[in-house]
Amino acid sequence: MHKHSIAELAAGLRGKKFSSRELTQHFLKRIDAHDGALNSYVTITAERALKQADAADAELAAGNAGLLTGIPIGQKDIFCTQGVRTACGSKMLDTFIAPYDATIVEKLDAAGMVMLGKLNMDEFAMGSSNETSFYGPVCNPWDKTRVPGGSSGGSVACVAAGLAPVATATDTGGSIRQPAALTNLTGIKPTYGRVSRYGMIAFASSLDQAGVVARSAEDAAHVLQAMSGFDAKDSTSVERPVDDLVTGLNTSIRGLTIGLPKEYFADGMSAGVRERIEQAIATLTKLGANFKEISLPNSPLSVPTYYVVAPAEASSNLARFDGVRYGHRAEGAKSLEELYKRSRGEGFGAEVQRRIMIGTYVLSHGYYDAYYLQAQKVRRLIYDDFKRAFADGIDLVLSPTATDVAFKFGHNSDDPVAMYLNDIYTIAANLAGIPAMSLPCGFVDGLPTGFQLMGNFFAEARMLNVAHQYQQATDFHTKWPTEYAS
């Protein structure tokens, strides 16, 4: 059952080939059998899942079910889930039991989906390898000596290994797309504001966005549509109707113009990844798409801009974790100042502390204008580059997702700058607020890689259409890591 698409699972449920309880039990058994070696889940909510499955079966029997009714899902452990630990990969929140559900949890519950558990992640979503989690690293199902990417490493590992049909994820600078590329999955970060951030623990509020990782564009479209929509509880939520992301999947892409930014195809990409990207371009050309070289001249400034803006916002957001209100509290502190210092020193890991320090520095008196304000100006220039490209007749932009395939554990652990450069192709979309997705395009030395599509604001339907047409013409997304295929 774990090899079926969401549409196939929905048909099986409606045709009474299996029940939602049986489907849920199937995935719970796979988690029990395989996740000990992968570490993709930090909390398994079996009792809750079976109750939701029974409720879904009742809806199915009554004829009130939607497409997603009874379909299991994994939730990234950054989304608050009432009565369930929400730790965000950190010791700071190891004992935190959320008193309410995040909006996307509410929406997916309302759609009838079944939550299998909470998924491992880099601490407070800060990382590109899922090595910073308090709960230990997540392994890549394609090679357990390699990272799955991050910060949504648990999300991609569980879907790639068939421990859930689909999973939620978040993307601040590439944390959906980069791990999707490294594990042969489809991952989409929607336009900033399309999906509510209420109940999603904040890293960098102007960049964070929730999305989906799935085996195909079609699966991603179904779940993203259920997650989307205006939320009055989120001040950054955009008040507009939810687009139909599914109906247009089978539309021909003939005549679309796709931009190839010359800055993304310069030095830095491995030869193997470049070859796979060129093959993907050739396939899309056969499907009728036109390609045009474009320039996004400020995109090389994305990484330094991001690593000023994101840590600054993280410094502000994480100030609330002080050992007083909730979260980890150091024992035996003799003063309030000592309580603050020890609680934060014990509760936060090294990477989170590093980013808090950077953020505090760039926001401090005498440096705000020199660093933070300048970074915001460059951010606007990066957005303007995309705006000009789309105004000039470009429908979508295509680029690599990652410079290379998944690297070995510890490869970049002692070099934070090298780790940060893993997001060199993905960060610009977050800075501009535009939607972007990664989809599989082949293998290099047996390891998966992917390419990225970026669109204008609220162009998710067009991106998913191109991705679906590409996946109808290729079979890379159907490949499984051998150990988890059966």
Residue in 443, 440, 451 with CA at minimum distance from that of residue 478: 440
Query: Residue 469: its pLDDT value, please?
Result: 98
pLDDT recorded at residue 420: 79
Residues 6+ apart with CB under 8 A from 66: 111, 112
Catalytic residue set = 76, 151, 175
pLDDT confidence of residue 243 = 93
pLDDT at residue 419, as a whole number: 81
Contacts of 483 by beta carbon, 8 Å cutoff, 6+ apart: 141, 161
Rounded Cα distance, 450 and 276, in Å: 8
- pLDDT given for residue 42 in this prediction: 98
Residues belonging to the chain: 486
Q: What is the mean pLDDT of each run of 10 residues along the chain (486 residues)?
A: 96 97 98 98 98 98 96 98 97 96 98 98 96 97 97 98 98 98 98 98 97 98 98 96 96 98 91 97 98 97 96 96 92 95 96 96 93 97 98 97 95 78 92 98 98 98 98 98 94
pLDDT for 10: 97
Output the pLDDT for position 412.
77
Q: Indicate left, alpha or beta for 485 from its phi (over 0: left) and psi (-120 to 50: alpha).
A: alpha
Domains located in the chain, CATH noted: 6-258+393-484 (3.90.1300.10)
The pLDDT, as a whole number, for residue 267 is 82
